[in-house]
Amino acid sequence: MAARNITHVNEFTLLGFSDIPKFQGLLFGIFLVIYLSIITGNTLIIIITKADPALQTPMYYFLRNFSFLEICWTSVTIPRMLINLWTKNRNISFLACAAQVCLILDLGVSECLLLAAMAYDRYVAICKPLYYLFIMNHKICVQLVAGAWIIGIPVVLGQTYQVFSLPFCGSTKLNHIFCEIYPIMQLICGDTSMSEIFIYADVVLFGIVPFLLICGSYVKIIFTILKLPSAVGKSKAFSTCSSHLMVVGLFFGSSIIVYLSPKSSHSAGTDKILSLFYTTLTPLCNPMIYSLRNKDFIVTLRKLCSKCARTENK
């Protein structure tokens, strides 16, 4: 009987926001504006930090890579959501769904590791300022960024293959806004406990460990800042670190809840909201958080704007 119920899957159906059909057009407009804002804001960060020689420091090198990662992250999910909302065709092929799951997991791992590298950079800059340029040399920065991008690939590929090689049965409708590993697992026949164990292990290795390293770095940073004799120095140090901490809180807060909570406790509505949080809200807020709280960035932006204005007047 179990064998008869196994379904040969060629495609899945992403239900997304189909439960609110009257708002499809409105949602399309909202997500289109959000996506364009994410692309514009993060691209602006890349251009500005690359154009000004004064911003050729390790901190801005990591920030450029982080902004590029955010563009990639949203480009994996939002365009597909926009297509579904516009065409009302919510079908996605088996391979496209597997590729989306793989990319989401891999980019999530890269974001965790890159945020940890950025925290380490701030730790060295504040706690060991005399050795900063020696420790955070260009070679080390490139290695940290390359590691963040590459290190999770084999694990994520293995995880994705393991989940999608399991038998599916019954419905192929995913009550989610994009292909994600837990909604996929709800369609799998039989015991998925081994897959869940591997997912939890990956979350601990690539999520919890970087998060604890970030927390440890900032505990030492805060103690060092409190020892600074100058109130101006304290204010500048706190301002530099607070933007990074806000991004860490937004990203890790929502993603850890999704991936560490038991599968039985997952509700479609809550998962949709939390997924939107770490795939859409965080990339949208990052440019504002980093630019509005960074005086060097604002000064460079004003310089570029004044140059553009002078060019147009000529």
The token duo for 103 is 């990319």
What does each of the 314 residues of the chain score in pLDDT, given as a tens digit? 344 455 577 888 888 787 777 888 898 999 999 999 999 989 988 988 888 787 888 988 998 999 999 999 899 999 988 988 888 888 889 999 999 999 999 999 999 999 999 999 989 988 888 899 899 999 999 999 999 999 999 999 998 998 888 888 777 888 888 888 888 888 888 777 888 888 888 888 888 899 999 999 888 988 888 887 776 666 766 766 777 777 888 788 777 777 766 655 556 667 777 778 778 888 888 777 776 666 667 777 777 777 766 666 65
In a 3-state reduction of DSSP, which class is residue 169? strand
Domain count, the chain: 1
The token duo for 286 is 């990052």
Burial environment of residue 22 by CB neighbours within 10 A (0 to 12, 13 to 18, 19 or more): exposed
Place of tokens 């806000």: 246
The token duo for 27 is 């949602």
**Residue 210: CATH number of its domain:** 1.20.1070.10
This prediction has a pTM of 0.87
Cite the DSSP H helix spans in the chain: 2-5, 24-51, 58-87, 94-127, 132-135, 138-150, 153-164, 181-185, 193-203, 209-226, 231-260, 268-276, 282-292, 295-313
Give the model's pLDDT for residue 113: 93
Question: Which range of residues forms the domain containing residue 56?
Answer: 2-313
Integer Cα distance of 144 and 99 in angstroms: 25
